[in-house]
Chain A
Amino acid sequence: MMVVENTIDTFDSPSEERIAKDRYQTDAMWIYMGPQHPFSHGLWTLKVRVDGEIVTDAEPVIGYLHRGWEKEAENREYPKIIPMADRLCYSASMTYTHLYCMTVEKALGIEVPEKAEYIRIVADEICRIQSHLMWLAAVGTDLGNLTIFLWGMREREYWLDLNVRLCGQRMTTNYPRIGGVRNDTTDIFDRDVMRCTERFEKALWDLIDMIDSSSIYVSRMKGISRLTREQCANLGVTGPAMRGCGVDFDLRRDDPYGKYENIDFEVPVLTEGDTYARYMVRIEEMFQSCEIIRQAVRKINALGKNAPYRLKVPSKVPAGKAFCKLEDPRGESLMYLISDGTDKPFRLKVRAPLFTNISASRPMVKGVRVADVPAVMAMIDVCMGETDR
C-alpha cells in the first residue's frame, strides 16, 4: 500500500485524462461519494481516489443546487431579498438575513437602534447554537451512532422554540429588517432565554460525556486530517474549522460588527489542527454563545421596554459600494453590495464560508481512510444552499 503524506501539494485538481487513466488501474479506483450518498448532507459529490482503504486524491464537485441567487437578487427590491437570504442556508438563516440588512444599512449609512443590535445578537447566537447542534447530530450519524443524532436534535428543538417565541418561525425566520428587527421581544422572552441556556449547558455536558468518554469517538477524530495554520489560512478555510487549526481570528472579536465589542466572551482556539480540535472548538463555541446570549439579554432588559427597535429607512439606496462581514456558524460570510441609486441592488455578491471550505476538501481528506471521509467532512458542517447559491 502506498504511503501518502498528509500535506498539500499544488491545488490543481486531477485532470480528466488522469481519471481516465486510473480507470484501468487495478490498485486504485475512483469512488463517487454523492450526490445521492448518505454522507453528503446536501447535493454535492466528492470524488475520492482510493488505494485500498486510503484516500490518495479527491475532487469536490458542486453546482447541483445553483439557483442564481445573486442574479435573482438584482431583480428584486431591497426588502424582498430578506426572505430570500433566509433560504441561503436553512440552519443559518438568521445570520444571513442579519448580514444582508447590515450591508444595506451600511450602504444607506444609517445607525440601527441599540436595542435592535442586541436583539440581533441574541438571534444570531440562538442561530449559532442550533446550527452547531445540528452539526453535532450530523457528526453522530457520520460516525455511525444514532444516539448523538437524536439527542442533538432534541436539544436543538428547544432553541427552535425560542426562535418561535422571538419571531414566530422555527427555521427560515425572516426576522431582521433593514433598520432594525421586525418586532420587539415578547414579554417573558428574557426569562425563557435564561432558562433555556441554563438547561442547555447541563444537557450539553451529557452529550460531551457521551462523546469524549468514549475512546472510539476520540480515536475516530484524533490525528485525522491535520492542517497547519498556514495551510488553513491560505486555503481560505474559515470558521471553527480554521480556529481548530490555530488561526486566532474571530470576526466578532477582531472585526466587531453590531454591538459585539460591548460583549465579553472568549474565542476558543486550538492548535492541533485535526478533526478533534475542530470538534472541540465548536463545542466550546456553544458554551460561549450561551454566555453572549445572557449578556445581550441583560443589555436588552437594561434598555427598557420602550426603547426603539426599528427605524424607517428610505427604499432607495444611494449609489456606491459597501460590504459587511459576519461570523456565520460555519465561518466568515460576507456580502458585497453595489448599488446604483434605485430600489434594486445593482450587484449583490455573497461569500458563503462553505464555498471555500468545500474547495479545501482535497487537502483535508488526502491520506485519511475512506471511513474517515464523512467524519472529516462533517467538521466543516456542509450546507449546500449557501455553497451553490
Chain B
Amino acid sequence: MVSSMKDWMQYGDPMSNPYYPYDTYNVVYDLGFEVYQFLGGIVAWLIDLILPGNPVSEWLMSDAVVNAFSIIILALVIFLVIFVGVLISLWEERKVLGRFMDRRGTMVGMKGFMQCVADGLKTFMKENTMPKKIDKMTYMWTVSLIIGTSVLVACMLPLSDRFFIVNFDSGLLIVMALYALAPFFILVSGWSQNNKYSLIGGMRAAESMISYEIPMLIIVCSVAVLSGTFNIGGIVAAQNESMWYIIPLFVGFIVFFTCSCAESERSPFDLAEAEAELVEGWQTEYAGMKWGLIMLGDYLRGFASCAMISIMFLGGWNVAPFASDAVNGFLPEVVQLLKGWFVFFIMIWVRVALPRVRIDQILNLGWKVFMPLSVVNLAIAVLLKVGGVF
C-alpha cells in the first residue's frame, strides 16, 4: 500500500506533544514544529515509499525526534531574528550618526543596509593573521567566549511572551550573570596578546565593567522588588497592570542606561578601545574575521542592553499599560524590537554629543555617583512596595 504524503504530516497542536518543553505557548517552537512536520514529513514519506514499512520513517516522525528538531529550528530562528535585529541597529547607528554629523551615512544598497553585509563579507575574506609571540590558546579561546557570551545574552532575552528560548523564573539574573562574564575574558585576552595597548585596554575594561556591574545589579533588584519576580515575562506583565517603571524609577532608568552604555563598551564609555591613545585597545591584535565578530559581539551586547531597558522600564512588548489585549497582542515582538531600537537611538545620540571620558572620571562616576543613586533607587522601590502602591 502506498501511503499518502499527508499521512506523515500531522499538523497537530505542538503543546500536545508530550516532550513540549515549555509551560506556555511558544510561537517559534510552533513554527519549528510545523516546518519540521513539512520537511521531515516529506523525507519520511519518501523513505517509506522506497522501503515500505521501515522503522526510520516512524522514528523520524516520533514525538521525541519532532521535538528535538523543532528545538533546533527554534534556536536557529531566534538567532537569525536577533542577528537581523542587530544588523538593523548597526545600520541605524550608521545612518543616524551620519545625519547627526551632517553627512549621509552608508549608501550601499537598500538605503545603506547592505553595507553591513559587505563589511561582514570583507572581514570574513581577510587573511587570518595572528602575531607570533602570543599565547595562542587564550588568544583564541577568550575571543570565542566573549563573542559566545554576547550571542547568548542577546538570544536569552525574549521578544514577547510567546517568543523566547527559555522562560526561567530567574531570567533577568541569568542574563546579568552572562553579561558580567565578558570583562574577565577581555582582561585575559588583553594579557595574552603580548601588547601593551591590549594590556592597558584589558585592564581598563575590567576596571570599568566591574564598577558598573554593581549599580546595574542593584537596579535590577529594585525592578524585581516592584514587580515581585525576576521572570522577564512577569516583569512585563506587572508593568502592564500598573505603569511603566520608568515613572517611579526614573533615577534608576538614567543610571541603568548609562551603565549599560558603559557595559556594552559604547562611546563615550569605550575606554577599553580608546583609539586615540590605545590604538584599538584590547582588540588591537585581532584581525579580519575575529575582529569582525568582536564588533558584532559589541553590537549584540548593545542590542541586549537596549532590550533589557525596554523590558525593565518601558513595558516590554506591550504597547501601553491597561491597553486591551487586542492592542497589546498585535505583533508584540515588533513592539519590543521597536522599543529596543528607540533606546538604541538615544544611545547613538549620546555617542554623537559626548567625547570619551577618562578612566578616573568613569570610575568616580561609577562608584561615587551611580552607586549611591542606585541605592536611592532601591530605597524608592522598597518604599513604594511597602507603601502598597505596587
Chain A residues at the B interface, C-beta cutoff of 8 Å: 29, 31, 33, 37-39, 50, 53, 140-148, 150-151, 154, 210, 214, 216-217, 219-220, 369-374
Inter-chain residue pair count (beta carbon < 8 A)? 82
Q: Beyond the given A31-B196, A369-B359, could you list 17 further A-B residue pairs with CB under 8 A, ordered by the A residue number?
A: A37-B279, A142-B276, A143-B355, A144-B270, A144-B275, A144-B355, A144-B356, A145-B353, A145-B355, A146-B97, A150-B102, A214-B355, A216-B361, A220-B357, A369-B358, A370-B200, A371-B358
- A145 and B354 within 8 A (CB): yes
1/0 contact trace for B273-297 toward A, CB 8 Å? 0111111000000000000000000
For the complex, give the distance between the alpha carbons of A142 and B277 in Å: 8
- B355 and A217 within 8 A (CB): yes
Chain B residues at the A interface, C-beta cutoff of 8 Å: 97, 100-103, 196-197, 200, 267-268, 270-271, 274-279, 352-361
- Chain A residues, CB < 8 A from B352: 145-147
- Chain B residues, CB < 8 A from A369: 358-360
CB contact under 8 A between A143 and B359, given known A38-B276, A371-B277: no
For the complex, give the distance between the alpha carbons of A210 and B102 in Å: 14
For the complex, give the distance between the alpha carbons of A144 and B275 in Å: 8
For the complex, give the distance between the alpha carbons of A39 and B97 in Å: 22
From B103, which residue of chain A is reached at the shortest CB distance?
A: A150
- Chain B residues, CB < 8 A from A147: 100-101, 352-353
- B361 and A219 within 8 A (CB): yes
- B279 and A38 within 8 A (CB): yes
For the complex, give the distance between the alpha carbons of A142 and B354 in Å: 12
- A146 and B101 within 8 A (CB): yes
- Chain A residues, CB < 8 A from B278: 370
- B355 and A151 within 8 A (CB): no
From A373, which residue of chain B is reached at the shortest CB distance?
A: B277
CB contact under 8 A between A371 and B359, given known A39-B276, A144-B268, A147-B100: yes
| CB-contact partner of B274 in A144, A148, A150, A216, under 8 A | A144
For the complex, give the distance between the alpha carbons of A151 and B100 in Å: 10
- Chain B residues, CB < 8 A from A217: 354-355
- Contact sample, A vs B, 29 pairs, CB 8 Å cutoff: A31-B196, A33-B277, A37-B279, A50-B200, A53-B200, A140-B355, A143-B276, A143-B356, A144-B274, A144-B276, A144-B356, A145-B352, A145-B353, A145-B354, A145-B355, A146-B101, A147-B100, A150-B102, A154-B102, A214-B353, A214-B354, A216-B355, A216-B357, A216-B361, A219-B361, A370-B277, A370-B278, A371-B276, A373-B277
From A145, which residue of chain B is reached at the shortest CB distance?
A: B355
